[in-house]
Amino acid sequence: MRHRTILLQHLMLAFIASLAGIPATASAQSASDMLSPENLPGNFYTFSPDEFWLEPRDTYWTSFSNWVIRQEQVQSDRIQALGAWADRTLSGNPRALPGNESYLRLGLAAESETGRLASIEPEARFRIDLPTAEEQLRVVLESESDELIPLGERRRSRQLTDDQRSDTDATGALRYLSVISDTINLSNDLGARLRFPPDAFWRATARGNWKLDGWRLGARQRVYYFHQDGWGASTWLGFGKDIGKGWTFLASSEAVWVHDERQFDLAQILDFHKRLNNRSELNPRLGVLGESQPTWRQTGYFADVTWRYRLYQNWLYGEVIPSVEFRRDNDFKEHTSFLLRLEMYFSGSILSR
């Protein structure tokens, strides 16, 4: 063990020496000497060498960032423990297996719109996914349900702050999974909106994915029934492919049957995505929204660009989203917005115990 530790120390010194421009032939001892603050080149630092040994100064930003980092560690452990406890309790199995997809998203979003100054709104979303209650049975708790959110709002969700989104109440359901073929999966949910009085629902979803001559084809068909809102159905189709230089393209079409209004809501989205580096990604989109009543017509157009940056490890992110939209109910006048979002993503992997 001691020899391994010494070997690792030599390798680290050699790696740091190469970053500092020290010849590879230098010995470990000479490399250590040359890596002292006095011998390193000035451009190695983001501060002056005489500040190397200074104690860090406490600032509001330092205190806040340290608090955020501690919260990720604490909350991730809590979410992991909650999911593991509930999974073992419901399944009657003392062991919890990997594969849990529980998460908690907390964020702050500041949006400036046409004719309105920026306002800061807190955001929170969660999902508790318990995949091992039975081999094909899951228990799923979610902060919102897609079926109760208007299609146009769902497709523009990242542009909106929490106060602009529909209040759908949290839902809880038992989900039974079945595999039809190598490319098609089916799930059935039976649950309720978590409020008083509860609103029971049933939901069936079929998903398929295929590859066709360089293109990726995805399809989803969903049928659902909410006791208070009645029946509904949605159909989604998407075609995507790599278009070169790191860019991917996805064209998707969606139709949703709105039972109360006896009409279809429609959306056509052109989605481009590129990972700029291991920290940031770019996602421009163009969209057209429509409806079938009183006639088949467009209800709005929008364009937005999302630049997402990983600020710390894999759980703290920042987003910048400029957007423009033209709505029928506003006589298709231009409406612009600029959104800044800081988002913390807490999750934990459930390990076998």
pLDDT in tens, 162-211: 878 887 888 999 988 888 888 899 999 999 998 888 889 999 999 999 99
Bridge-based pairing of strands 297-312 and 280-291 is antiparallel
Residue with tokens 């800061």: 120
For the chain, the domains span 2-51, 61-347
Which CATH architecture group holds 61-347? Beta Barrel (2.40)
Whole-model pTM: value is 0.70
Burial group, residue 87, by CB count within 10 angstroms (0-12, 13-18, 19+): buried
Residue among 280, 279, 316 at smallest CA distance from 76? 316
| Cα Rg, the chain, nearest whole Å | 26
User: What is the DSSP annotation of 257-290?
Assistant: EETTTTEEEEEEEEEEEEE-SSSEEEEEEEEEEE
Rounded Cα distance between 232 and 202, Å, is: 11
Rounded Cα distance between 225 and 89, Å, is: 29
CA angle 6, 11, 15 (to 5 degrees): 150
- 353 residues of the chain, pLDDT tens digit each: 444 444 445 555 555 555 555 554 544 455 455 555 556 555 555 556 666 676 766 666 667 667 766 766 666 666 666 656 555 555 444 444 444 567 778 888 888 876 666 678 888 887 777 765 555 788 888 888 888 889 989 988 888 888 788 878 889 999 888 888 888 999 999 999 988 888 899 999 999 999 988 899 999 999 999 988 888 999 999 999 999 989 999 999 999 998 888 899 999 999 999 999 888 999 999 999 999 988 999 999 999 999 999 887 777 889 999 999 999 999 999 999 999 999 887 765 433 32
Amino acid at 89: T
- Which residues, in sequence order, are bridge partners of residue 230? 226
DSSP 8-state secondary structure symbol assigned to residue 30: H
Residue among 321, 325, 327, 324 at smallest CA distance from 343? 321
Neighbours of 236 (CB within 10 A): 16
Ramachandran angles phi, psi of 100, nearest 5°? -70, 135
Rounded Cα distance between 97 and 349, Å, is: 9
Ramachandran angles phi, psi of 80, nearest 5°? -60, -45
